[in-house]
Structure 1
Amino acid sequence: MPSADLHCVLDARAQLGECPRWDERERVLYWVDILQPALHRFDPATGVDQVFELPEHIGCFSLREDGGFIAGLRSGIWTLDALGRPLAQLAANPEDVRTSRFNDGRCDVAGRFFAGTIDEPKAGGNAHLYRFDGGPGGGQLQALSRGLLTSNGLAFSPDGRWLYHSDTPNFTIYRRAYDAASGLCGESEVWARIEPTAEDRGRPDGAAVDAEGYYWSAFYEGSRVVRFAPDGTVDAVYPVPVTCPTMCAFGGDDLRTLYITTARAGRSAGELERQPLAGGLFAMRTDVPGLAEPRWRESA
């Protein structure tokens, strides 16, 4: 799989770029800067990036079948209109919003929305992975995994049989048997564990799965995207020219353009001088396409 054409398509200088989502109807990439906080709409055909500011941190979102978005904000799960404006809170964050916010999330093939939280002090293991059950009149969050520091890397296998997610500070990617018909999942098992070193603290952040069932993980503080085979072994490594890639997503008409968000928050002045494109949006072509991103269905 060629990676020589990896390049910065948008010098966004995002503080914490995350959650890229390709919209095949509009042929644009939506993404967020969690700390700005804002939802972005990037048109690769024109290079124009529209910014929709939000009143609180936005960790993740999915496109809605009927337009607009469902999103995990600091305060809970919300619906947003097409310009990113909050419409209604569907469920409150059950954790302490002073030290917790929603982080990574997405929909399964049936249109159910899943979202995890981050334990910002990273001290108590108080973060969770949740499934949202309910529709526009409100709903509830069902905890699927507890005791996490940063719920991340949520993705589903192409056949819907597996749910993947990671706990970034613990350098671990988990896998669970999944039933797309019911939304139920089995016990969590360690699928891949990364061994850090003093020189390499790269750890699994946001992710995407391709059409062959391979799991692509952005390695925060690792300057790379790693493609894992379905058995959890490393298949390929793709260098990224900044320290903190955060998440990847497949886009373009053929779903063979891999977009990669990055971050610059918390990096030293010296590092940012050496890496002026930190916080930018990168892209590269892949031989294997990704999967179309499911949309949230209020009836799911």
Structure 2
Amino acid sequence: MNATLAVDIRCQLGECPVWSVAEQALWFVDITGKRLHRHDPATGETRTYSVPEEIGCFALARGGGFVAGLRSGVWLLDEEARVDRMLAPNPERAETNRFNDGRTDPAGRFLLGTIDEPKAGGTAGLYRYDRRGLEALDGGLMTSNGLAFSPDGRILYHSDTPRFTIFAQDYDPATGRTENRRVFARLDENAPDRGRPDGGAVDVDGCYWTALFEGGRVQRYAPDGRLLSEYPVPARCPTMIAFGGEDFRTLYITSARAGRSDDELAAHPLAGAVFALRTDVPGLPEPLFDPEA
């Protein structure tokens, strides 16, 4: 199976693909480009919405609109991606730490993490937002990434990209609490390509998929942490993945081009585009964010 071009776009830092079942469309962001994009595979049309800050992650909200992790905090956005109201401020120093990866849990809560941009002290964290407010779940991270849930919602996967590590934690869907964090997989930081785990997703068999930033590929892991397969991507820096399409067997893969060398961009001119890979095993639909969860 080979990944092919799905959206001919050049995002600076493409991230957070989310498939809308209701619209049969793919949403994704350009974090540093401060854009939210909507792509309709049936027509090939891509619509772009500007946001006022870097948008690290978002989720489709029940009743319309979005919840989003912007640099300044967690916000509700309307259907045109205009800021509606802040749900919670960034609990960290916004000048150096912004929200990054995020995902809705089975009950409609929004989990999201931050990035320590200077990579200076591991000051990033992982948080849960629900009607009780924003609560820290984990800390001491450099780049919070790779959020995904097992099909029964009882295992939370999460990575710290610069540390080449994917974690698993027990998760209580009824309360949103986590415990028993352990290493799920650790990549070789001395590998020539230094590919490291970025955004993730889980398929119906409970296998965890991850995009390898600077690794030019995506990987699929068994629930016990064994590496099962790898698939090349026509960009050195794939960033995140999402299952979509009518049968949820199309794996969409965002990528980045910001900060890449001229030689790399010459070798990978599609960097920043969105790619698609047909899979044998389907993924799962994303729950909608519920402000009352």
Q: In 2, Cα distance between the equivalents of 1:257 and 1:89?
A: 34
2:27, 2:39 within 8 Å by CA — same for their partners in 1?
yes
State the 4+ residue runs in structure 1 displaced beyond 4 angstroms. none
Over the matched positions of the two proteins, sequence identity in percent amounts to 60
Q: In 1, Cα distance between the equivalents of 2:199 and 2:70?
A: 17
Q: Does residue 204 of structure 2 align to residue 211 of structure 1?
A: yes
Q: In 1, Cα distance between the equivalents of 2:189 and 2:222?
A: 20
Mean alpha-carbon deviation: is it higher for 195-204 or for 43-52?
Answer: 195-204
Displacement after TM superposition at 1:140 (Å):
2.5
SS in 2 for 1:249: strand
Q: Does residue 17 of structure 2 align to residue 24 of structure 1?
A: no
Aligned to 1:279: 272
Aligned to 2:75: 78
SS in 2 for 1:232: coil
Displacement after TM superposition at 1:183 (Å):
1.0
Q: In 2, Cα distance between the equivalents of 1:224 and 1:195?
A: 15
Paired letter, 2:97 = S
Once the two structures are superposed, the pairs formed by residues 1-300 of structure 1 within 5 Å of their partners are 3-4=1-2, 6-134=3-131, 140-197=133-190, 199-300=192-293
List per-residue Cα deviations over 1:6-33 (Å, max 9, x = no partner). 2111121110000000000000000000
Q: In 1, Cα distance between the equivalents of 2:185 and 2:6?
A: 31
SS in 1 for 2:95: coil
Mean alpha-carbon deviation: is it higher for 180-189 or for 212-221?
Answer: 180-189
Q: In 1, Cα distance between the equivalents of 2:209 and 2:288?
A: 20
SS in 1 for 2:264: helix
Q: In 2, Cα distance between the equivalents of 1:88 and 1:294?
A: 21
RMSD over equivalenced CA pairs, Å: 0.8
Q: In 1, Cα distance between the equivalents of 2:197 and 2:272?
A: 17
SS in 1 for 2:193: coil
SS in 1 for 2:180: coil
Q: In 1, Cα distance between the equivalents of 2:122 and 2:166?
A: 16
Displacement after TM superposition at 1:238 (Å):
0.5
List per-residue Cα deviations over 1:77-107 (Å, max 9, x = no partner). 0000111111000000011110010000011
SS in 2 for 1:66: coil
Q: In 2, Cα distance between the equivalents of 1:205 and 1:274?
A: 22
Q: In 2, Cα distance between the equivalents of 1:44 and 1:190?
A: 37
Displacement after TM superposition at 1:198 (Å):
5.2
Flag structure 2 segments of 5+ consecutive residues without an equivalent.
none
Displacement after TM superposition at 1:141 (Å):
1.4
Paired letter, 2:264 = E
Q: In 2, Cα distance between the equivalents of 1:11 and 1:169?
A: 28
Q: In 2, Cα distance between the equivalents of 1:145 and 1:174?
A: 11
Please give the TM-score of this superposition, normalised by the length of structure 1: 0.96
Q: In 2, Cα distance between the equivalents of 1:179 and 1:94?
A: 24
SS in 2 for 1:270: helix
Displacement after TM superposition at 1:133 (Å):
2.6
SS in 1 for 2:206: coil
Q: In 1, Cα distance between the equivalents of 2:15 and 2:284?
A: 18
Q: How many residues align?
A: 293
Paired letter, 1:276 = P
SS in 2 for 1:271: helix
Paired letter, 2:63 = D
